[in-house]
Amino acid sequence: MSTAEKTPDIIEGTALPTFDPSKAAAEFRAAAEKGVEQSKEVLAKFNAGSDDAQKALESSFETAKAFGSDLSLKTIAVLRANTEAAFSHFEVLVAVKSPSEFVELQTAFVRKQVETAVEQAKELQAVTTKAVEDVSRPIKSAFDKALKELKAV
């Protein structure tokens, strides 16, 4: 049998698939439906991620707002304590009777103020560190969740 005599379905012992338009349309429709379904899933995950991000930002802003108020109150308390200490020291200096007593009182006051300033700085640093952790926690959590979901896809 020559090649010209062979049927279009069989060439060299291999059967060629026949094209069936009805099957092609069904397969195309199934692929399109699957694509639409996957797009809907991605959109739903994106919306959920957007909602999570918005909630995380809102939570962080509320925490930052509370921290700002707390830090302001602590700063005012520090300033008040330092001002009261300065006025008390001034009252003591007014009653000084000799230059040596003045130097002794002034030296003790400065030493005490330096110690107080170090303690106040430590307190403010602790408050600030905690606030940064609290403010960033919701955002970090939302980011970690989004990464985990992306890896699952």
In a domain, 5, yes or no: no
Band of pLDDT at residue 133, cut at 50, 70 and 90: confident
Q: At 108, which amino acid appears?
A: A
Write out the two tokens for 43.
């959109």
In a domain, 4, yes or no: no
**What was the pLDDT predicted at 135?**
80
Which residue has better confidence, 91 or 5? 91
- What does pLDDT average to over the chain? 80
Percent of the chain with pLDDT over 70: 80
Overall number of domains in the chain: 1
- pLDDT surpasses 90 at 36: no
**What was the pLDDT predicted at 111?**
96
Range of the domain at 90: 20-152
In a domain, 3, yes or no: no
Exposure class string for 41-50: b at 16+ Cβ within 10 A, else e: eeeeeeeebe
In a domain, 73, yes or no: yes
**What was the pLDDT predicted at 105?**
93
